[in-house]
Amino acid sequence: MKPTLLIIDDEPAIRTLLTSFLEERYDCTTACNAAEARAAFAEQYFNVVLSDIDLGGETGTELVPSIIEASPETAVVMISGNRDLDDAISSIRAGAFDYVKKPFELDFLEMAVDRALQHNQLLRSKRQYETELEHLLKKRTDQVTYLSLHDSVTGLPNSVRFRETLAREIEMGSGEDLIGVMLITIEGYRKLQETFCHATASDALKEIGRRLVECVNPRSTVARIDGEEFAVLIPGIRDRDELAEMADRALCKIREPLFIEEDEVFLTASIGMSIAPTDSNDAAKLIENASSALLNAREQGGDRTQFYKNGMNRAARRRLSIENGLRRALDRNEVRVVYQPKAECQTGKIVGMEALVRWENEEFGPISPAEFVPIAESTGAIVQIGEWVLDQAAEFGGDLADLGYDLQVSVNLSERQLRETGFGQIVMNILTENELPADKLDLEITESLLMTDREIAVKALSELRMQGINISIDDFGTGYSSLGRLKSLPLDTLKIDRTFITDVTTDPNSASLVLALVTLAHNLGLKVIAEGVETEEQLKFLKLIRCDEYQGYLLSKPIARGEFLELLRQRLPLPIGGQPASKYAGRASL
């Protein structure tokens, strides 16, 4: 298509001349005054305007601003006529691109119009580029806005969007409408991550998100908060029962198998719930309450739902304080190790000791290991604490060996430690530094660790056992393993949990069970230690059934180094010629 050209001149002869000269290259339209020119502009776009300054009424100079306003890319060339040069300059200042003074040569005029067309094309290209840039910027801005409010893996709303939506629902609610909040943690997802590739784990998250959306009504919002944690907002629920039903449906959906690389993978979840306005009418508080309920559900073993109850936040805050305190406990010298002796059932001779960790926090005072050890496990702090305890116990064991006492040192081992790269070398380095022979170290593990991470445990423990280290299974009978399964594991010792020892003298079933455990363990070549022995009658029974060793309050409670050494001096005199080693003589800690 030809470029469009509007010729404005009040002389018909000039309009005809210019049209006949330029129509071969341009699609020409003519106007005799400013009014006709505006009418022409209203009907079509013009690349170039060729206008006389003197139009007999409104001048071309006065017309230029309205042309530029209507079409910023249109290039205007003025014909100055008989007016002086100042009029042409005024037109250019008004927005005209160029001017031609009468009388003009047609070739010169054509060149001026061509230059104007080039200018028009440049302006249009610039405008097109700016438009495309604006569209691209808007697109990118929309993408950034979307990503700031949505999870990149599942496409679900993220925590920011969830909180905004919850706050809006509370604000718009009548006060009588109930709003349910569920926080969901997927149990077993991290193990799935370690087993399969990143893309497969992401696909699992997408599937879980899809299943959760199926469980709720269309008004609900399902969000991925972080990692393996999801959140669900359900406005307009009737009562707690309705929310509980949705939570149960969610659990059932999550339990359904995932098919990954031709394998069936099963996951479970813990769900914490709160309700507005019953629990709070503040979005942040509702989420905090649901989080406390979630923590409570997980502490009860997971794979369950839990409503928020008063007091849960205090427990959650205490847990958070404990988590923070554990990170600084060693630096503040708040952690100490105590030792509980082990003795032979038949002779009463002390043959070993178990190192147990204790923590006295500056805020809470003494904190039970039953409370802080699981938290240390979940946060990873157990790795540093466990290594420190091992070093302390090995040092004490080495010092006692220098004194002439032949004792085995037992230290509890956590799952996190066993998974640490190079853990075996860390153990051997500690033994070397403290001059404690490997066969004098006994590492105690729980049966749940052996059964849930069997391959990892067997490999790591077998390597330690090859170095001469003794491996014991602690608290046997409290989990779900069996003696038949233990025969293929790298074990030396079985410790019977205290719950089985308590009633051996009063309950025939307990006595029969302990007898069977001792007999079968001996048949498997395992040494047996009974925990929690508190009475002489219990010890007599253990002697009768040929149990190897025992520990418990009948012998001694866990005690500090100095007390332990005093107990040894009373119960286990030094061999003839036994003398304190030089490195031990100056140790005030003993």
Neighbours of 146 (CB within 10 A): 12
Sheet (strand 27-31) strand order: 27-31, 4-8, 48-52, 75-79, 98-100
Query: Which DSSP string do the residues of 462-479 spell out, in sequence order?
Result: HHHHHTT-EEEEEEETSS
- Where would I find the H helices in 174-239? 189-195, 198-215
pLDDT score, position 577: 44
Q: Which long-range contacts (CB under 8 A, 24 or more apart) does 323-331 make?
A: 323/375, 323/379, 323/381, 325/361, 325/362, 325/363, 325/364, 326/359, 326/372, 326/375, 326/376, 326/379, 326/381, 326/385, 327/381, 329/359, 329/361, 329/385, 330/384, 330/385, 330/388
Which residues lie closer than 8 Å to 63 by C-beta, 6 or more apart? 8, 34, 37, 38, 51, 55
Task: Assess contact for 267 and 186: CB atoms under 8 A.
Answer: yes
> 111 forms bridges with which residues in the sheet?
none
Residue with tokens 């080693």: 581
Cα–Cα distance measured from residue 380 to residue 384, given in angstroms and rounded to the nearest whole number: 8
Query: 489 in the Ramachandran plot: left (φ > 0), alpha (ψ -120 to 50) or beta?
Result: beta
Beta-sheet pairing, 441-446 with 263-265: unpaired
Instruction: Write out the E strands in 255-334.
Output: 258-260, 263-265, 268-276, 304-307
pLDDT score, position 588: 32
Helix (H) or strand (E) run with residue 180 in it: strand 178-187
Task: Assess contact for 74 and 51: CB atoms under 8 A.
Answer: no
pLDDT score, position 412: 94
Query: Which DSSP string do the residues of 110-173 spell out, in sequence order?
Result: HHHHHHHHHHHHHHHHHHHHHHHHHHHHHHHHHHHHHHHHB-TTT-SB-HHHHHHHHHHHHHHS
Which residues lie closer than 8 Å to 318 by C-beta, 6 or more apart? 364
In one-letter notation, the amino acid at residue 81 is G
Structure tokens at 502: 């308590």
Task: Assess contact for 153 and 205: CB atoms under 8 A.
Answer: yes
Task: State the sign of the Cα–Cα–Cα–Cα dihedral 504, 506, 512, 513.
Answer: negative
Structure tokens at 430: 């500690």
By the 10 Å C-beta count (0-12 exposed, 13-18 middle, 19+ buried), 512 is classed as: exposed
Q: Helices 369-379 and 381-403 meet at what angle, rounded to 10?
A: 120
Structure tokens at 32: 């005799």
Task: Assess contact for 50 and 92: CB atoms under 8 A.
Answer: no
Cα–Cα distance measured from residue 241 to residue 234, given in angstroms and rounded to the nearest whole number: 13
Task: Per residue of the chain (590 residues), give pLDDT as tens.
Answer: 899 999 998 889 989 999 999 999 999 999 999 899 999 988 999 999 998 888 878 888 889 998 988 889 999 998 876 656 777 778 888 889 988 887 778 888 899 999 999 999 999 999 899 889 989 988 888 788 888 888 888 999 999 999 999 999 988 876 667 999 999 999 888 777 777 777 788 888 999 999 999 988 888 999 999 889 999 999 988 888 899 999 999 999 999 988 877 777 888 999 999 999 888 889 999 999 999 889 888 878 788 899 988 766 677 777 778 888 888 888 889 999 999 999 999 999 999 999 999 999 888 889 888 888 888 887 788 899 999 999 999 999 999 999 999 999 999 998 888 888 888 999 999 999 999 999 999 999 886 666 555 677 788 888 999 999 999 988 776 544 555 566 677 889 999 988 889 999 998 888 998 999 899 889 989 999 999 999 999 999 999 999 999 999 999 999 999 999 999 998 876 554 444 443 333 333 33
pLDDT score, position 280: 87
Beta-sheet pairing, 549-550 with 335-344: antiparallel
Task: Assess contact for 500 and 510: CB atoms under 8 A.
Answer: yes
- Where would I find the H helices in 410-497? 415-419, 423-433, 447-452, 454-466, 483-486
Helix (H) or strand (E) run with residue 495 in it: strand 493-496
Task: Assess contact for 343 and 550: CB atoms under 8 A.
Answer: yes
Q: Which pTM was predicted?
A: 0.57
